[in-house]
Chains A and B, each alone.
Chain A
């Protein structure tokens, strides 16, 4: 592969962070190899999911030109579920194809597109290359071992995902703590494009994103998600890993997803579907305080490997942060190309650049989010209380009487507890 020749950079992992990094490096004339353990880029990757495009305009505008996006999200819903009832807040915004804020993606197609683009710039993207170990020399990382062979490089970029074995090996993460991860499980179901457009009231090319809170996760911190793709729907749940132990004995992820699909407010949307794929992936949701040291000399962490995911309850961002971090790492390496990009100063340059970018600034701004969102009441108490209150307002009993708003609100206040609710609301508003 390298004939003993030293590359400028070896990137581990052909996901969106690694490929954005490789593209940027190769575009600037550096020699780059991307080692991917799957047979092709994307083969081991999974997203919910959606990609926010605005933050990437400057960093990845050229790379994303002509990318195979599924649909532009124009309809956003947050749905509170309680038994067979639900209530939702929906925003239909008139974002046209010319100016998409966010798009749904499927990683198979998307990552292969990114790999092809990186390849056009002469980055070597190689499948079936599992990196087993780091090569360390003179106090720095000098390459990786792949299937018993040395691949030497001035810098190794660890874009090896949420589990990042390289971050653990380098001592950047002592262990992987359950409280820092969400478990995402997704089913991909096929449905005709025209059927999706009719049922979600969107035009061709446009789509919907829905988040569900409440008993979709059995009241555990997390939620259900539904994203419309071109001719399929991504549907699934995410549950905070450290809360899993509380789940009922017989309840599996598959049970949760099956129940989710059978909900009376979901089933008609997906009727006639065909399941084509079932997957699971970890999401590093520990937030700002769980971000590890971003590297050691000669080794840079990017994307999920660096814990760069932001979940604020209404936004779940990972891929844009991943791609941005990949490009920012590349630019630091490019800055030091004449000298030694494996030196501590280059690593420091990356740390500073990332810290001053929106990636870490946004994560810092929302550093309390993981704790606030682990509040059970958000999932167990409020969805039923709100749904019950609204239900009472839309019902007329046998005596011909409805429930006055005042009484409905009073009843809700009794169930949620006024002070506790106010405290929770204040916290959520601070997010």
Chain B
């Protein structure tokens, strides 16, 4: 089962505005792009046209891995606004 299919099973209410913001200039200098492999939800990817690292906050499991693992501190991450984000039904 693909990760997107698993995320689709979760109860989640996505905000229009992303709670994860990347510092594009810093990301452009990044050699590891570890966020892409580390995010358990697979939300990070490289935009084919621009080769930039991008993140799609919808589906975020709110673990914080990307913020902690980023070697360049380029991830600004906060909890989604109240009423939004993942809602674990089982946990």
Residues on A facing B (Cβ under 8 Å): 37-39, 42-47, 106-111, 127-130, 147, 162-163, 165, 176-178, 181, 183, 185, 187-188, 232, 241, 244-245, 247, 249, 251-254, 258, 275-282
Q: Judge whether A107 and B37 touch: CB under 8 Å.
A: no
Which of B22-30, B38-46, B48-56 contacts the other chain? Answer: B38-46
Chain A residues lying within 8 Å of B62, measured Cβ to Cβ, are 44
* Nearest chain A residue, comparing its CB with the CB of B73: A175
Main SS of chain B's interface residues?
Answer: loop
Give Cα distance in the complex from A247 to B89, angstroms: 31
A280 to B68, CA, bound (A): 14
Q: Which 9 A-B pairs have the closest CB atoms?
A: A107-B91, A280-B40, A128-B82, A278-B6, A280-B63, A254-B3, A280-B61, A108-B91, A253-B40
A residues less than 8 Å from B9 (CB atoms):
275-278
Complex CA gap A107/B10 in Å reads 15
Inter-subunit contact A278/B63 (CB<8 Å): no
Asked if B34 is an interface residue, CB under 8 A from chain A, the answer is yes
A98 to chain B, nearest CB (A): 27
Chain A residue contacts of B88, Cβ below 8 A = 42-46, 107-108, 277, 279
Which residues of the partner chain B approach A110 to less than 8 Å between Cβ atoms?
91
Choose one: B1, B41, B86; the contact of A44 (CB below 8 Å): B86
**Complex CA distance for A127 and B82, rounded to whole angstroms:** 8
Does B87 lie at the interface of the complex (its beta carbon under 8 Å from any beta carbon of A)? yes
Instruction: Apart from A44-B62, A176-B64, list 4 A-B contacts with CB within 8 A.
Output: A42-B88, A109-B90, A245-B32, A277-B89
Q: State whether A39 and B91 are in contact (beta carbons under 8 Å apart), knowing that A252-B42, A277-B9 are contacts in the complex.
A: no
Q: Which residues of B contact A181 (CB under 8 A)?
A: 68
Say whether A176 contacts B10, CB under 8 Å: no
- B7 close to chain A: CB less than 8 A: yes
Residue from the set B1, B34, B62 with the largest chain A CB neighbour count within 10 Å: B62
Find out whether the CB atom of A183 lies under 8 angstroms from the CB atom of B65: yes
A-B pairs with CB below 8 Å: how many? 122
Instruction: Give the Cβ gap from B52 to chain A, nearest Cβ, in Å.
Output: 19
The 11 sampled A-B contact pairs (Cβ below 8 Å) are A39-B83, A43-B88, A109-B90, A128-B82, A241-B65, A244-B34, A244-B38, A244-B69, A275-B1, A275-B6, A282-B63
CB neighbours of B65 from chain A (8 A):
183, 241, 280, 282
Least Cβ distance of B32 to chain A in Å?
A: 6
Set of chain B residues within 8 Å of A253, measured between Cβ atoms: 3, 40
Q: Are A111 and B2 in contact (CB under 8 A)?
A: no
* B63 nearest in chain A by CB position: A280
A282, B40: Cβ atoms closer than 8 Å: no
* Interface pair B37/A247, CB less than 8 Å apart: yes
Give B7 Cβ to nearest chain A Cβ, in Å.
Answer: 6
Distance in Å: Cβ of B87 to nearest Cβ of chain A: 5
A108: nearest residue on chain B (CB-CB)?
B91
In the assembled complex, the Cα of A250 lies from the Cα of B62 at a distance in Å of 23
Q: Which of A37, A109, A178 lies in contact with B69, CB distance below 8 A?
A: A178
- CB pair A244–B91 under 8 Å, yes or no, is no
A175 to B53, CA, bound (A): 23
Q: By the criterion CB–CB under 8 Å, are A187 and B6 in contact?
A: yes
Residues of B within 8 Å of A47, CB to CB, are 91
B2 engages A279 (CB within 8 Å): no
A128 to B67, CA, bound (A): 23
- Alpha-carbon distance A38/B85, docked complex (angstroms): 9
Please tell me if the beta carbons of B79 and A162 are within 8 angstroms of each other in the complex: no
B1, A129: Cβ atoms closer than 8 Å? no
Q: A245 to B31, alpha carbons, bound, how many Å?
A: 12
Contacts of A282 in B (CB 8 A): 63-65, 68
